[in-house]
Amino acid sequence: MAHTLPALPYDFAALEPHIDAQTMQIHHDKHHNAYVTNLNAALEGHKELAGKSAEDLIRNLSAIPEGIRTAVRNNGGGHVNHTMFWDIMGPGKGGAPTGAIADAIKGSFGAFDAFKEQMNKGGAARFGSGWV
């Protein structure tokens, strides 16, 4: 089973003015598509890995042949992260968390606003691409 690029569940312009349509289209049609294409290329000839989800592949990297492990980690991870991004960052989503995650944030940072402030500082201090 080849991995596929999921359709964007909303219009490219749906997150404007925060993220413009061109950025969304580039990330979906070029970056995310490249992760899927490269993951599928890495898995060619490895029938034992066919049918495994990208999540399963990266969750069990030690079971991936060493020769393709980095490609599976990088491209499978990029595929999973972008797929999650399209869902989490949808229009009308966001706001303060609730439940256990809200409790954990309050316990660690004192309040959601303090958490956001520290995340923004960490992001601004991050060189290049990456996660905070």
pLDDT digits (tens, 9 = 90+) for 45-68: 999 998 899 999 999 999 999 999
* Pair of tokens at residue 18: 């925060």
Which of 89, 63, 75, 64 lies closest to 2, judged by CA?
75
Residue partners of 89: CB distance under 8 A and separation at least 6: 15, 19
pLDDT tens per residue, range 65-85: 999 999 999 999 999 999 999
pLDDT at residue 128 above 80?
no
pLDDT bracket for residue 15 (50, 70, 90): very high
pLDDT tens per residue, range 25-36: 999 999 999 999
Number of Cα atoms under 13 Å in the Cβ half of residue 67: 6
Which of 22, 41, 27 lies closest to 84, judged by CA?
27
57: exposed, middle or buried (Cβ count in 10 Å: 0-12, 13-18, 19+): buried
pTM of the model as a whole:
0.78
